[in-house]
Amino acid sequence: MKKAEPQTTADLTPDEREIVMQMRCPTCLLDDFQQMADLFVQITRADPGDNPPEITERHAMNWLANRMAERATWMSEAMGKEKAA
């Protein structure tokens, strides 16, 4: 049986969480999130010729939206850790 992918850093083992948090500063997370948001905007907008968006595949859109939500959660957690330090 395949293990479910972690949805937040709370789903990681303590060792995994520490490694992730050491590697990801809020600035890096914000940059990732901004790039994903820009991509989301690009692929979902209709062009001026009233053509449909580039990607209309629901599963692909859901995957990207979930990755964006994940990055936002991690960014929030990293910022909380930074404020506590």
Q: Quote the Cα angle for 33-37-39, to 5°.
A: 120
What would the pLDDT profile of 42-76 be if each residue is shown by its tens digit?
Answer: 777 767 776 766 666 778 788 888 888 888 887 78
- How far apart are alpha carbons 1 and 46 in whole angstroms? 40
Task: Report yes or no on whether pTM surpasses 0.85.
Answer: no
List of E strands, 1-85: none
* Mean of per-residue pLDDT scores for the chain: 75
